[in-house]
Amino acid sequence: MAIYHMQAKVVSRGSGRSAVAASAYMSCSRMYNDYDGIQHDYTRKHGLIYQEVMLPPIAPSKWIDREQLWNAVEETEKTKDSRLAREFVVALPVELDKNSNISLLQDFIKKNFVDMGMCADFAIHDTDGHNPHAHILLTVRPLSENGTWQYKTEKEYLCIKDGEEKGFTAFEFKTAQKQGWEKQYRYKVGKKKEYLTPSSAQKKGYERIDKHPKSSRYGRQNPISEQWNSDEQLCIWRANWADAVNKMLARNQINAAIDHRSFADQGITEQPTIHEGYIAQNMEKNGIISDRCEINRQIRADNKMLRELKAQVAKLAEAVEKSIPIIAETLEAIRNHMIFTQYHLLHNEMQKEVIHDWMNHFIPILNKYNTVKKKLKAKVTERKELNVQKDKTSILNPIQHIKLNQQLTTVTEEIEELKSQKEQLIFQAQCSTDKDMTNLSKKYDQMNKNLDILDTQDTSLKKQLKKDASAFREEKFRSDPEQYTELLDTRIQIRPAFRDKLIEQLKGTFGKYYDYHRRDIAANEVDYLNVEDPDVFSHRAWELECQRKQEIRRNQPAWAKKKSYDMEL
């Protein structure tokens, strides 16, 4: 399914990055950075589908070689925290083939970046065949007509005239000076330091202590750079990317579309899922719970429930005010959602118990194993040192030889004892080798992460349960008190269908871990939370069933009644 993803980042020295390294990484190539003398080699990196450099007409043609382009950028930027490039990461539609995605990118980059005067370097990656995406690296300094770099910001001097302060660039100050504007410098005024104009400071005999004139903090930004860096321009690029993708999908007769707006702006109240990535998906295939996949499962389940509740609300809005069947359906839908949420909490508790039992069993073994392993390593080192010491000892010193041999024998025995202890611990851990124990230790770390994931889920589930309980109370009191019995009877009639739907939902979500006993516990806890007595429902259901049977008997012919009576006897 086509998804919208466009992430904007800045490549700056202040964050420890370089434009040459960023370009080499995304193009899977080898490039040398003249600025710091480091060669970046990513030729062994996999997943590159396509790469290209696109230049505006005013850029030097030699920059078609990305190494020359980004070294020219590195050479121009002098400070240790310079902004070197702007990077966009965009998700490409999986429905499009390679050539369509290349054409889509080329057209978008040309119209939105190259035509504005930027040099663009882009590459398409897809490591697993299911996550095509592109990295776009752009220059941030505008180019002049002759192909040289323009300034990003220009120093702006804050000058004074008749008590008014105004900023001028060096070029503007030549004209402003003739009009009476003066620069300000720092002077020592008693124990303080103040900015004054030279003319006013000379009258009072103050001493200038700084040769640098007062200037604005960030200087005067280049109008072109200011536009490129603006939030408004970023919003335009985001919208243009969505339009470009949708046009290409329509051109290929694919019934799909993306939207650059947030869910809130689109009027969607569902939670968006997060990007999982191939690493998380591979973890799941290997039986390891990925926090990203787990979060997405919870989000999808919540969104499904939300859609159902919204459908019920829409149905309620269309019905007559205080319609008993609609209120009954809404109450049972909310109750179902609450039972599902409570079941999820109980399921998480069960998972936590299993994890804690596992950890309580293996933690002592792992701790002892690590201690023994550490002692064993120290003893092996000690034996090596004794052997070296023995080799250096002269044969003319037999007493020292005997002493060292005794120490070596003791250490050797201690080593064997520690080896035995280690083997026993490996056996206790149901492992075969040291590598298995290392994997067991990694599994322990993963178990800790799983506990954190479950705690986070529990917090979200409890909030949802509280919200549903409030909605249930509000809905319950929409009917008049005299309609209580009618509402109760209607809920009893429709509850079996809702129970079957809930069971199907629980089985679909929890699979083989579904437990009907846990479902009953969840239902009882939800009824307690909603201040509803299950016995009232069961007793009323029994009464309705008796009434139904009596009605059937009343409508039976006389011979059928006699036969039924004889069977009862």
Return d(Cα 135, Cα 22) in angstroms, integer.
Answer: 10
pLDDT of residue 266: 60
| Contacts for 388-395: CB closer than 8 Å, 24+ residues apart | none
- Strand partners for 6: 90
Least confident of 136-145, 267-276, 323-332, 459-468: 267-276
Q: Which of 373, 376, 385 is nearest to 438 (CA)?
A: 373
DSSP summary character for residue 93? P
Confidence of residue 495 (pLDDT cuts 50, 70, 90): confident
Q: Which two tokens stand for residue 159?
A: 């000058």
Least confident of 54-63, 320-329, 396-405, 433-442: 320-329
Return d(Cα 341, Cα 302) in angstroms, integer.
Answer: 9
Q: Which two tokens stand for residue 444?
A: 């322990």
DSSP summary character for residue 43? T
Distances, alpha carbon 164 to alpha carbons 161, 182, 183, in Å: 5, 11, 12
pLDDT of residue 569: 43
Concatenated DSSP letters of 95-144: TS-HHHHHHHHHHHHHHHTGGGT--EEEEEE-SSSS--EEEEEEE-S-B-
Q: Comparing 86 with 131, which gets the higher pLDDT?
A: 86
pLDDT of residue 365: 86
Task: Indicate whether 567 pLDDT > 50.
Answer: no
Q: Which of 41, 24, 34, 114 is nearest to 77 (CA)?
A: 34
Average pLDDT, the chain: 84
Query: Dihedrals φ, ψ of 242, to 5°?
Result: -60, -45
Tokens 């309705």, residue located: 544
Buried b (16+ CB within 10 A) or exposed e, 144-174: eeeeeeeebeeebbbbbeeeeeebbeeebbe
Mean pLDDT of 487-495: 85
pLDDT in tens, 449-468: 888 888 988 999 999 999 99
Q: Are 371 and 425 in contact (CB under 8 A)?
A: no
Task: Indicate whether 545 pLDDT > 50.
Answer: yes
pLDDT of residue 47: 87
Q: Which two tokens stand for residue 469?
A: 């309980």
